[in-house]
A and B are shown apart, each in its own frame.
Chain A
Amino acid sequence: MAIRISIFLLVGWILGAYNPVYGQNPLTRPLDFTCTSCTPAEALVALSRQTTVNIVFSNRFFENCPPVDISVRQQTLQAILEQIGACAKVSFRLVDNQIVFTRRTERFTLSGFARDAETGERLIGVSIYLNGTARNAISTNEYGFFSVPLEPGAYTLVGRYIGYQPLVLPLDLSKDMLLTLSLVPDAALPEVIIKAPSIRKQGTRDRESQHNLPLADMFKLPMPGGEADLLRLAALQPGVQSGVDGLGGLHVRGGNADQNLILLDDVPVYNPNHALGLLSVFNPATVNNARLWKGDFPARYSGRASSVLDIRTRDGHFREYHGDVSVGLFATSVTLEGPLVRDTSSLLISTRATYFGPWIDFFSRRDNLLTISGDNVGYRFYDVNVKWNYIFSPKNRLYFSFYRGGDVFQNQFEQRFDDPEGLFTDTYGLASEWGNSIAALRWNHLLRKNLFTNTTIRFSRFFYQSQLTLLSTFLSSSGKESLLANYGQFYQTLIQDWSAKTDFSYFPSERLTLRWGISYTLHTFQPGALSVNFLVPGQSPITVDSLSKALLNNERLLADEADAYIDAEWRFAKKWSLAAGLNTTVFQIRNSNYGALQPRIRLQRNTESGWSQWLGFHRTAQNLHQIGSFNISLPFELWVPSTAKVPSEKAWQSAMGLGWTGQGWRLQVEGYYKKLDRVLTFLSSNSAIFAGGAEDASGWEDRVAAGEGQGYGLEVTLEKSFSSTLFTTNYTWSKAERRFPDLNSGRPFPFRFDRRHDLKITVQQRLAPWLDASAIWAFATGNPITLAGVKFQHHSPNGDIERTVYAYTEVNGFRLPNYHRLDISMQAHFGNDQVRHAIQLGVYNAYNRANPFFLYVDSGSGTNAKAIQYTLLPLLPVFRYEIKF
């Protein structure tokens, strides 16, 4: 090891000279000094002798400096030293009353983008290690960018990403470098094998990348109909609950479904489901990366109280034209991608459409459920994704993302009533349509070598509309037909956002990353507008009464929301890191303002032995609320803003956990406590259920009840990877409850998705290089529901009004039977470099467990009254064929 300091002068102390200024700062002392044709070393020695202040330096610092003449009067020692050292890259400081010269540290910035070597796709969350410093890995941001300042020298950069070969890149850093890290997809090796070590390496260490969902699993694990689905993948994570068989939305750590911020290319998605949750709106062929934050999300995310699901779509191939066709039992998707300008611009277009029609016909005939009477039932959904991007320069890139998806449901049926005088015929028709439209224009700009900016203009819209018609006719026995009634009811609700935001990412040192940004959103709400048209005016006072609901709530509400945030990630010690941030939000509607300061903090300790511990505290606020009155998330549930009468929701959550990775194992244990303040519910009249979702939202502010909620639990993840097997267990013990002064007589009651135990076990096995097998076994405590235990009759005083009263003694006081099911599938993949095929075959709910969706107590007339259990998904085949070319 080179000895850097060759001369060490202790002039003053060796001579034992008296230092008259001891206790003062010698650097500020004025003095006269003269030295002719002195080298800097000679000048420093002379200066040390004159001032009796020790000066520590190395001759090598001044090897290239010529002799100088110095003659100064009454200048400070600091000024003289600066003059002497001006010829070299040195700096000095006062340490223990000695002046110590050091070589001025020169740092260069290593920055760049990570991308797929074949497609040019930027890769999010790539872990980058330098010289094997695994503990201090950095990861690429949402646009594949990274930056780290380093001292000059030789480095070995290693980039790791799930499903890609590790990239090893020797570097000689002698200047600022802007790299493009091209990671090669590892098609030759089983992804099962790759995945496990990658996760182990990342483990719980890298805060950003640890939340990545393993997207490869989405295509391997058995899912209903063989339809790979992102939300079902998310629901396999600990702490994430969904309704029965995936319906009812995601509920993270006891939070409501509307408390999840779901972002598609940084744009909020207000209705993430098709077919009430059977499938999500996210076409898997377009998803590049998805991160799920269950509460410890950074300050750059705001607006929702419970969780964040940040989904980024693929950019499209930059060099070649490719296609992907996936055919499942429920839907088919077609994706085309390719360069518009090679290595500069790419375009990806993907569409997906369903064919539920044959299924509906099949089950209608089988169970006579959907066949009501002369019915004409139809349902379909569709998605269109477009992604375009253009690289103007290494420092500038433009993205445009567009998504449009919708669901269409229609039904028509007749009722006929024979009468001695003729035949009454009522023809009902329902046509409902709902969907999301989003768009985002983003500009990435590398402002400086370590300062990355992204500016986005966003649009998001969700609407629901339904039209209910009734045509009532009478055919007399004489053959004369007359029109009795003909009216239509139209209902619509929507939420729409226009917003702009700018984010900055700054990497001042390898230990510190700063992010900050601002955003503004203009929200438009239409809580629910109902109109009724009578083609034959007024039949009776009853129909006149119905007219009262015509166009009574057609108001549109506008709200402004502004956000500012700062996030810092600081590795302040060898094993310790701190992630802290603050988000401030101002929400304005009418003349009401809601402000919220939302601190986020997380302290983490990583050790070389593979252990991690962390502790976090997070505060969140929410001013957009989805309110409804049903046990599942339905598209016609209303999005409403906070107003003077409807308060802003607040939540805070604390969590602590520990993790260990090593020897093929990964263990993560995390406990949390979440408190929800002013969580909302809608005191509905349930009339919407009769009107195709039309809920007259008039007076909605006075029909919203605010309450509180809490959730706590313990989540355990245990993962073991063998040479060709990956075994994962996710278990959650949790409790979630709500309390509303206006409900359940003010007593607390279980949250509708409260489940004490939730267990998900997945096994992925590579049977042969071309054949994989996978299985899921899921178990969950039954959902709580509200059931009446007894009933009685209530008569009006004169006895002419009688009502059956159902004595619901406790809200959600009864639990459905436990939920469990087994899914099994096998996937074969074969082909060549030009064309690759994959076939997945399997069964969902292999042992045909009749998991209860809900119970309906049929207390109708007769002696055959009974409880009917409704089951959603019985044993279903899993089939998917995919071809990539």
Chain B
Amino acid sequence: MQSTKATLLLLGLGLLAVRCVREASIDLPELPTRIVAISHFLPGQPVQVEVSLSQTLTDAGDPDIPANADVSISVEGIFLDKLYKVTNGTDGRIYWESRDTVKAGVKYALSVRITGYDEVEAVSAAPEPVVLGAVSIDTANMRLVPLSDGKLALRVPLEIRPASLPANGRYFAFGLQHEIEVFELVNGQPVPDEYYQASTKFLADGRTLSLVYDTPEKVVLVNENLWNGNNEVLTLDALIPFNPENERPRHLYLEWRTLSEEFYRYHLSLARQGNNLPLNDPDALYNNIQGGYGNFSGYSFIIDTLSIPNPF
């Protein structure tokens, strides 16, 4: 809502003293409906592909999920697997899943056929992970930030240093989660009662914040330009809110993804889309699905667990 208001505000600035809005019948670039295939696969896991059909922009309904789709993967032109349809019992999500699991460094070719639509194809691989050389907490600069609702936020300065940055293709993403211990006071002593995890927000310097982007993947994409100028460290402050009366931050989990170029380019172009806002200057969507839309890309990840020192 705020965005809409602000947009109108800017329009107001631009459309001073004039009558401005006029609905008109415009020939939009109506493109034919094509197959949409989205799959981010990782080593050791089966390939899962969501298949749907593209919608016109003026179609306000839900996307069509085809009842029947022939989804297969191959390696170097040799058929590997025909994926089978799965309906997730929890959220009703429908996807096609392979029987085999993904091997790092192997280029997989995806093929999706649906009667009445052009066949789509895509190729990608899950890269070998770039391991982390060091992930450290600057305990000396940890501090507590009071929140108005009585909670505290613990700022945890982090330094993330890949072991060896590749010369090219520095495609990474990361995600932070923290674990909170909920305790009870028994005889004045805290006794752990339960634990819960939550997504962790973070702060950083302006340059870093301007070079990381939210994705629909629960990880933050890191622009390759972040590593310009011999910069080999990602520095940020994790923000962990907790109730000091019965909670303690215990662990921080860092998911560090090494991305294929297809993954990186696709999500980078999503970040530059502009969300269909007027007056913006969006980038074209990166699309490696030949004959359709979506993204077929691999990645690999490692998870580093950090113990959080007692802030008190």
| Interfacial residues, chain A to chain B (CB-CB below 8 A) | 247, 275-276, 278, 330, 356, 359-360, 363, 366-367, 369-370, 372, 377, 379, 409, 411, 413, 415, 428, 430, 432, 536-542, 544-545, 547-549, 552-553, 629-632, 645, 681, 683-686, 689-693, 696, 698-700, 702-703, 743-745, 747, 749, 752, 786-803, 805-811, 813-814, 817, 850, 852, 854-857, 859-863, 865-874, 876
Contacts and interface: CB of A to CB of B under 8 A. Distances in A.
B70 interface: no
A547 B50 CA distance: 38
Contacts of A415: 1, 5
A276 B12 CA distance: 11
B205 A552 contact: yes
Given A686-B280, A855-B28, 10 more contacts: A276-B14, A359-B17, A537-B146, A689-B279, A698-B206, A744-B283, A806-B282, A811-B282, A856-B276, A868-B21
How big is chain B's contact interface, by range? Answer: 35 or more
B58 A549 contact: no
A356 B13 CA distance: 12
A446 B120 CA distance: 76
A789 to B, nearest CB: 4
Contact of A872 (B15, B31, B274): B15
B122 to A, nearest CB: 14
A689 B280 contact: yes
Given A696-B206, A859-B58, A544 B34 contact: no
Contacts of B69: none
B203 interface: yes
Contacts of B36: 792-793
A692 B21 contact: no
Most buried by A among B3, B17, B28, B210: B17
B99 interface: no
- In the A-B complex, list the 4 residue pairs whose CB atoms are closest, starting with the nearest: A698-B206, A699-B207, A552-B206, A359-B17
A743 B50 CA distance: 27
B2 A549 contact: no
Contacts of A432: 13
A246 to B, nearest CB: 12
Given A369-B15, A791-B57, A702 B228 contact: yes
Interface string B273-295: 11111111111111100000111
Nearest to B92: A799
A681 B272 CA distance: 13
Nearest to A553: B206
Interface string B197-236: 0000101111111110100111000010110110000000
B26 A702 contact: no
B102 interface: no
B55 interface: yes
B277 A545 contact: no
A712 B184 CA distance: 76
A379 to B, nearest CB: 5
A866 B23 contact: yes
B211 A857 contact: no
A540 B148 CA distance: 7
A413 B149 contact: no
A813 B58 CA distance: 19
A802 B55 contact: no
B16 interface: yes
B90 to A, nearest CB: 8
A689 B217 contact: no
Most buried by A among B8, B18, B19, B216: B18
A632 to B, nearest CB: 7
B26 to A, nearest CB: 5
17 contacts: A276-B14, A356-B17, A359-B17, A359-B18, A411-B12, A645-B228, A692-B9, A786-B281, A790-B31, A790-B34, A791-B57, A791-B59, A801-B218, A802-B216, A857-B58, A859-B276, A872-B20
Contact of A689 (B1, B6, B204): B6
B280 A629 contact: yes
A855 B206 CA distance: 33
B226 A702 contact: yes
A805 B285 contact: yes
Nearest to A854: B278
Contacts of B265: 745
A808 B278 contact: no
A689 B5 contact: no
B127 interface: no
B282 A808 contact: yes
B88 interface: yes
Given A363-B18, A369-B8, A797 B48 contact: yes
B248 interface: no
Most buried by A among B5, B9, B145: B9
A681 B281 CA distance: 10
B27 to A, nearest CB: 9
B284 A811 contact: yes
B47 to A, nearest CB: 12
Contacts of A411: 9, 12
Most buried by B among A372, A415, A538, A691: A538
Given A276-B13, A629-B281, A631-B280, A796 B217 contact: yes
Contacts of A871: 19-22
A869 B27 CA distance: 11
B153 interface: yes
B306 interface: no
B33 interface: yes
A538 B9 contact: no
A545 B201 contact: yes
Contacts of B38: 792, 794-795
A817 B208 CA distance: 41
Given A549-B209, A814-B29, A691 B56 contact: no
B211 A702 contact: yes
B60 A862 contact: yes
Most buried by B among A372, A703, A867: A867
Contact of B24 (A691, A796, A813, A867): A867
Contacts of A359: 16-18
Contact of A247 (B14, B147, B206, B285): B14
B98 interface: no
Contacts of B88: 799
B280 to A, nearest CB: 5
Nearest to A432: B13
A549 B208 CA distance: 11
A794 B274 CA distance: 16
A651 to B, nearest CB: 21
A347 B57 CA distance: 60
Contact of A869 (B7, B26, B56): B26
Nearest to A691: B6
Contacts of A330: 17
B206 A786 contact: no
B207 to A, nearest CB: 3
Given A539-B149, A698-B205, A790-B31, A360 B216 contact: no
Given A540-B149, A795-B93, A278 B16 contact: yes
Nearest to B227: A702
A847 to B, nearest CB: 15
Interface in B51-69: 52, 54-60, 63
A744 B273 CA distance: 11
A539 B5 CA distance: 22
B43 interface: no
Nearest to B14: A276
Contact of A369 (B21, B54, B204, B281): B21
A811 B280 CA distance: 11
A413 B8 CA distance: 11
Nearest to A381: B16
A749 B284 CA distance: 10
Given A630-B279, A807-B54, A696 B285 contact: no
B283 A808 contact: yes
Contacts of A799: 88, 91, 93
A744 B149 CA distance: 46
